[in-house]
Homo-oligomer: A and B are copies of this chain.
Amino acid sequence: MSQPEIRNMEEFAAISGISRPTVSKYFHDPSSVRKSTRMRIEAALEKYDYRPNIYAMNQNRKLTKNIGIVVPYLADPFFGEIVRMIEGRCIEAGFTPSLFSSHGDQAHENDILDSLRSMKPAGVLLAPLGRQSDKSAIETFCKHVPTVLFDSNIEGMGEAFVGSDNHSFVSQTVEYLSRTGQSPCFFEMRTPANPNANKRRIAYLSMMERLGLEPHVIKIDGTGWGFEEIGRQGGLKVLSEKSLPTNTVLCSNDRLAIGFLAACYESGVRVGRAPGCELRVASHDDHPFSRFTCPSLTTAAHDYNAVSDHSVETLFRLIESGGRFENRAESLFPARLIMRESA
């Protein structure tokens, strides 16, 4: 709040009695200037509320302080949560996060990568669409921008991957379910959008074999990112056909399970581990809504904090290393079994 409008750093430097390059240094890193100087600048800052032009700043900087965050589908609260944590870490570290959602669409994902390149970000945290991704577009992007993939892995792309250990997820649910009742059949989409789904199926099959149990994979139709409705339709079909081989269903992910549970309710099938229930249902992810399903969903939980923390830390290391790692590291975090009422 003041009389004279400060137009640029030149004027601000003049008024605060300090040279422009020093002021420039201050905005780069306040701790890089002498304490007395810092206080003079900050005093002037309160009187004249000046802020440097970010476009002029980034124009010449080799590495900007921007970090791109790309998720495949923001209407999924799972990603909403992840994004919140990641954003917070970036801001703490003095970076400016920019958020993008591919909204389940390949063309959109490519457009995002395009505009992201022109932003010259210090680094990018990318959760790709997966099967729908344009691999070559992502590969090209990663050559130009320091990128850490998270949530959904694409072999060889990005300098690192941080995600969840699908085997840990499935082994815990399968072990628990088969120990406490009939062995689970595996409920998934026929053409899953996400590579995690494939890994979970494989983990299910290997786990069942190890336990000497007969595996049953139920593949349901449907495309797109409306997993709940796909799960519901698939559930209605399976239940009406009475084709379930066992009384225990393990869904590939919570969103499918949410739809499946809706189908059970509509069909009058009682779900849970309580006496009188016909079916047990469990799943993977610990989706933010999974504790509010009816019954509440037994599931294997992501370590949200670990995944987001480690993603960000990996990206920071990558940035400090100049954008390249020796080897592409893959960090996988185990699941934690959350026992609720559904199984």
Interface residues of A (CB under 8 A from B): 51-59, 73-77, 80-81, 83-84, 87, 91, 96, 98-101, 103, 111, 114-115, 117-120, 228-229, 232, 258-259, 261-262, 265-266, 288-289, 291-296, 341
In the complex, the answer to whether A265 meets B294 with C-beta atoms within 8 Å is yes
Chain B neighbourhood of A101, CB < 8 A: 80, 83-84, 87, 99
Chain B neighbourhood of A232, CB < 8 A: 292
Report the bound CA distance from A222 to B293 in whole Å: 20
In the complex, the answer to whether B55 meets A59 with C-beta atoms within 8 Å is yes
Copy tally for this chain in the complex stands at 2
In the complex, the answer to whether A54 meets B258 with C-beta atoms within 8 Å is no
Report the bound CA distance from A291 to B265 in whole Å: 12
In the complex, the answer to whether B100 meets A84 with C-beta atoms within 8 Å is no
Taking the closest CB of chain B, its distance from the CB of A263, in whole angstroms, is: 9
In the complex, the answer to whether A262 meets B293 with C-beta atoms within 8 Å is yes
In the complex, the answer to whether A96 meets B115 with C-beta atoms within 8 Å is yes
- New contact pairs (12) apart from A55-B120, A258-B289, CB-CB < 8 Å: A51-B117, A54-B118, A55-B57, A74-B84, A75-B81, A84-B101, A96-B115, A99-B99, A259-B292, A262-B294, A262-B296, A265-B295
Instruction: Identify which of B56, B83, B258, B261 contacts A55 (C-beta below 8 A).
Output: B56
Chain B neighbourhood of A295, CB < 8 A: 265-266
Residue of B whose beta carbon sits closest to that of A117? B51
Report the bound CA distance from A81 to B101 in whole Å: 11
